[in-house]
């Protein structure tokens, strides 16, 4: 009598061979082929085999798309009792996809089962929260990690710090960091990167120094954040020191580090050093070429930026969206309107690049800066996407530059439909009305600011001297006790007047203010204070580098040209829009900014 057949459980784990679906999955190259393999698993009665389903799901999550993740979820739902490993795979896929929050939704469903999270669960979920800016859910996961005893885990801590910084709560990230008994270099990198991304470069660099003082060795990731922080501060001397550290420790073999060096030097005002780094690179990728094009653009050398693009094409390096941002910026600040339009339309037509909000914004700036205000207004009105307040603010700034009050008023109405809380909007239109002598409108706007609690952002300029960054605010000295610096500014202005400088008091918009008081108000603008500090505290002939948080004042721009001539100094002033190189009484912008 024959032995009875043994009935296999659909969830058993048979030995794999060359004819099984499991052996075919590594050879798979597309989702279509994967579905064929699943069909084969059904045919061979392995459609419920956990090892097969797990590997199918894993393939779907390697390079997640909306379609592949939907299919992975379909497979996941076929497992009656999925283990934590399968869930972690799903969460990792969703965290890297365009729908990261679905990982959190899936986790909420999983919590109703008997699964217990492990140290691979929280990193993916926290990454999903970071991508979704889901701070509240991230806090709940943090609490759950504490409950599970995993909040100090080596994998969980960096993602906790990253989640908080991505959700704009860098102080919470620091509290997490401070509770770690022995933070490793990965944790340090997460915190330093968080500070740099949150525009708190001083704290990033302070933590970088602490890392150096410890027994831990910085990595290439550390260098990227440190260089980014120097770029934010405009701290050239410190950036050069870090560059030496990079070379000594052979971090310059990384293309990304070299690209960060180009960006740092460009933002610190040393275009020559940026060019030197670029030319010394043995391997140049799209990001490196783009960084160099952006560097030339922000330093006012539009023609060189465009010629760099031609060299890039000859090198057969494909441009990306950042490359075209640099080109559009170069065209905008050099007045190359036709060339800018050509690049803009070639992005999608020739290169298949999806236009983003920044590209549209550059086009508004290109048209507005050249005086084509009506065209710029129509361009925004006919955009295929909903305009953001930044588009209208760009046009409002152009209205201010060209003195068009009526267009400015129309644009302000459009801005207020979206956001009425930005102090700069009120200031631009108020100054525009003041120049036109419409003082009733000025008073109305200032009253509106008071009633709405809107505060004007004060001008702030910084200068690095002996590796220390000094900050100055506009108005410092107007009503304070005279100091050595204020006396130096007073003396400086008198010397400039002898050379032909005339303070442009028309830029001080107060109807009841005397000319003498207007001049005092101009005298203590942050740019002049920073430049005067540089004259006092750097050797004769040394370049003075200043960073300002707003657009450079027209009167300070004029004064800087005279200072560069009289004192034989090169002054490099970086404002919110671009660099101004003052030398021998002239500016690189050609007074077109």
- Whole-number pLDDT of residue 38: 73
User: Would you state the structure tokens that stand for residue 289, as one six-digit string?
Assistant: 């070429």
pLDDT digits (tens, 9 = 90+) for 508-531: 666 566 667 777 778 889 999 999
Asked if 138 and 164 touch (Cβ cutoff 8 Å), the reply is yes
The pLDDT of residue 494 is above 90: yes
Structure tokens of 293? Answer: 């094009």
3-state secondary structure of 539: coil
On the question of pLDDT at 25 being above 90, the answer is no
**Inter-CA distances, 431 with 77, 408, 509, 558, Å:** 62, 11, 6, 19
Closest among 321, 319, 365 to 340, alpha carbons compared: 365
pLDDT band for position 431 (50/70/90)?
Answer: confident
Positive or negative CA dihedral for 10, 15, 16, 19? negative
Q: According to the 3-state scheme, what is the secondary structure of 546-565?
A: EEECCCCCHHHHHHHHHHHH
Per-residue confidence band for 10, with pLDDT thresholds at 50, 70 and 90: very low
For 67-125, what is each residue's pLDDT tens digit?
Answer: 999 989 988 988 888 889 999 999 999 999 999 999 998 898 778 777 888 889 999 99
CA atoms within 13 A on the CB side of 232: 18
What is the separation, in whole angstroms, between the first and last Cα of the chain?
98
As a whole number, the mean pLDDT across the chain is 89
Provide the pLDDT for residue 49: 73
Instruction: Tokens 């004819």: give the residue.
Output: 19
Of the candidates 402, 396, 383, 461, the residue with the CA atom closest to the CA atom of residue 422: 396
With cut-offs at 50, 70 and 90, classify the pLDDT of residue 274. very high
Task: Give the span between the Cα atoms of 526 and 559, in whole angstroms.
Answer: 12
The confidence score (pLDDT) of residue 477 equals 53
Nearest to 147 by CA among 168, 124, 121: 121
Burial state string for 128-161 with b = 16 or more CB within 10 A and e = fewer than 16: bbbbbebbebbbebbebbeebebbbbebbbbbbb
Sign of CA dihedral 549, 550, 556, 560: positive
Which range, of 84-98, 445-459, 562-576, averages the lowest pLDDT?
Answer: 445-459
Residue 408, classed as helix, strand or coil, is helix
> Which secondary-structure segment (H or E) carries 582?
strand 579-583
- CB neighbourhood size of 327 (10 A): 30
SS3 8: coil
Q: pTM for the whole thing?
A: 0.82
DSSP state of 573: E
Which uninterrupted H or E stretch holds 544? strand 544-548
Q: Which residues pair with 65 in a beta bridge?
A: none
pLDDT in tens, 156-200: 999 999 999 999 999 999 999 999 999 999 999 999 999 999 999
- DSSP bridge pairs for 461: 472, 548
DSSP result, 316-332: TPPP-HHHHHHHHHHHH
Residue 60: predicted pLDDT: 87
pLDDT over 50 (residue 12):
no
Q: What is the pLDDT of residues 141-159, one digit of tens each?
A: 999 999 999 999 999 999 9
Residues 446 and 395: their CA atoms lie apart, in Å, by: 21
Share of the chain above pLDDT 70, in %: 93
Question: What single DSSP character describes residue 9?
Answer: P
List 69's β-bridge partners, or say none.
Answer: none
Residues 355-391 have pLDDT tens digits of 999 999 999 999 999 999 999 999 999 999 999 999 9
Taking the mean position of all CA atoms in its chain, how far away is CA 18?
50
Q: Are 173 and 196 in contact (CB under 8 A)?
A: no
CB atoms under 10 Å from CB of 219, counted, come to 16
Instruction: State the angle between helix axes of 373-381 and 357-369 in degrees (0 to 180), rounded to the nearest 10.
Output: 160
The whole-angstrom separation of Cα 55 and Cα 89 is: 10
Pairing state of beta strands 468-473 and 460-465? antiparallel
The pLDDT tens digits of the residues spanning 218-259 come to: 999 999 999 999 999 888 989 999 999 999 999 999 999 999
Question: Of 540, 587, 536, 537, whose CA–CA distance to 561 is shortest?
Answer: 587
Whether residue 478 has pLDDT greater than 60: no
| Model confidence at 351: pLDDT above 70 | yes
- Burial class from Cβ neighbours inside 10 Å (0-12, 13-18, 19+) for residue 512 reads exposed
Tokens standing for residue 524: 């203590």
Q: Using an 8 Å Cβ cutoff, are 423 and 456 in contact? A: yes
Cα distance between residue 447 and residue 148, in whole Å: 55
Q: What is the largest CA-CA distance in the chain?
A: 121
Residue 547 main-chain phi, psi, to 5 deg: -120, 130
- For range 492-497, the mean pLDDT: 93
pLDDT(135) > 80: yes
Distance between CA 505 and CA 517 in Å, rounded? 9
Rounded to 5°, angle at Cα 490 from 485 and 493: 120
Average the pLDDT over each of 25-34, 191-200, 229-238, 430-439 and give the range with the smallest value.
25-34
Radius of gyration of the chain (CA): 29
The tally of CA atoms less than 13 A away on the side-chain side of residue 382 is 7
Residue 341 predicted with pLDDT over 70: yes
């Amino acid at each position: 009598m024959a032995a009875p057949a043994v009935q296999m459980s659909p969830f058993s784990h048979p030995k794999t061979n060359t004819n099984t679906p499991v052996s075919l999955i590594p050879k798979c190259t597309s989702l279509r082929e994967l579905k064929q393999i699943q069909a084969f698993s059904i045919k061979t009665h392995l459609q419920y085999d956990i090892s097969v389903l797990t590997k199918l799901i894993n393939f779907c999550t390697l390079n997640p798309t909306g379609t592949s993740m939907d299919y992975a979820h379909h497979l996941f739902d076929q497992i009656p009792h999925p283990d934590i490993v399968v869930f972690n795979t799903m969460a990792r896929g969703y965290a890297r996809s365009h729908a990261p929050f679905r990982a959190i939704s899936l986790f909420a469903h999983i919590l109703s089962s008997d699964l217990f999270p492990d140290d691979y669960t929280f990193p993916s979920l926290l990454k999903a929260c970071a991508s979704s800016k889901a701070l509240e859910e991230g806090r709940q996961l943090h609490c759950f990690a504490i409950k599970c005893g995993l909040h100090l885990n080596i994998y969980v801590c960096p993602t906790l710090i990253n989640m908080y910084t991505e959700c704009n709560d860098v102080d919470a990230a620091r509290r997490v960091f401070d509770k770690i008994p022995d933070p490793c270099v990965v944790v340090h990198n997460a915190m330093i990167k968080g500070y740099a991304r949150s525009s708190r470069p001083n704290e990033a660099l302070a933590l970088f120094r602490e890392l150096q003082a410890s027994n831990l060795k910085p990595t290439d990731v550390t260098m990227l954040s440190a260089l980014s922080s120097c770029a934010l501060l405009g701290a050239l001397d410190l950036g050069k020191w870090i560059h030496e550290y990079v070379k000594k420790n052979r971090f310059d073999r990384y293309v990304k580090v070299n690209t960060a060096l180009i960006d740092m030097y460009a933002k610190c005002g040393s275009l020559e050093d940026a060019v030197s780094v670029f030319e010394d690179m043995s391997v140049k990728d799209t990001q490196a070429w783009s960084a160099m094009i952006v560097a030339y653009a922000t330093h006012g050398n539009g023609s060189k930026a465009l010629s760099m693009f031609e060299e890039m094409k000859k090198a057969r390096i494909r441009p990306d969206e950042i490359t075209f941002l640099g080109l559009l910026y170069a065209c905008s600040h050099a007045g190359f309107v036709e060339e800018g339009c050509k690049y803009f339309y070639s992005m999608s037509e020739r290169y298949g690049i999806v236009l983003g909000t920044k590209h549209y914004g550059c086009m508004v700036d290109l048209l507005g800066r050249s005086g084509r205000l009506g065209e710029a207004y129509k361009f925004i009105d006919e955009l295929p996407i909903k305009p953001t307040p930044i588009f209208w603010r760009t046009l409002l700034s152009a209205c201010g530059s060209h003195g068009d009050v009526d267009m400015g008023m129309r644009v302000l109405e459009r801005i207020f439909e979206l956001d009425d809380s930005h102090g700069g909007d009120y200031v631009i239109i108020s100054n525009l009305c003041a120049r036109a002598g419409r003082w009733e409108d000025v008073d109305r706007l200032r009253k509106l600011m008071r009633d709405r609690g809107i505060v004007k952002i004060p001008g702030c300029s910084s200068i690095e001297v002996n590796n220390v960054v000094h900050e100055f605010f506009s108005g410092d000295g107007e009503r304070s006790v005279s100091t050595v610096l204020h006396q130096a500014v007073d003396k400086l202005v008198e010397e400039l007047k002898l050379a032909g400088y005339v303070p442009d008091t028309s830029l001080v918009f107060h109807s009841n203010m005397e000319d003498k008081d207007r001049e005092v108000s101009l005298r203590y603008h942050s740019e002049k204070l920073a430049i005067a500090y540089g004259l006092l505290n750097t050797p004769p002939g040394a370049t003075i580098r200043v960073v300002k948080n707003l657009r450079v004042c027209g009167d300070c721009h004029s004064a800087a040209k005279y200072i560069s001539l009289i004192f034989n100094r090169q002054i490099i002033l970086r404002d919110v829009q671009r660099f101004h190189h003052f030398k021998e009484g002239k500016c690189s912008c050609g007074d077109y900014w």
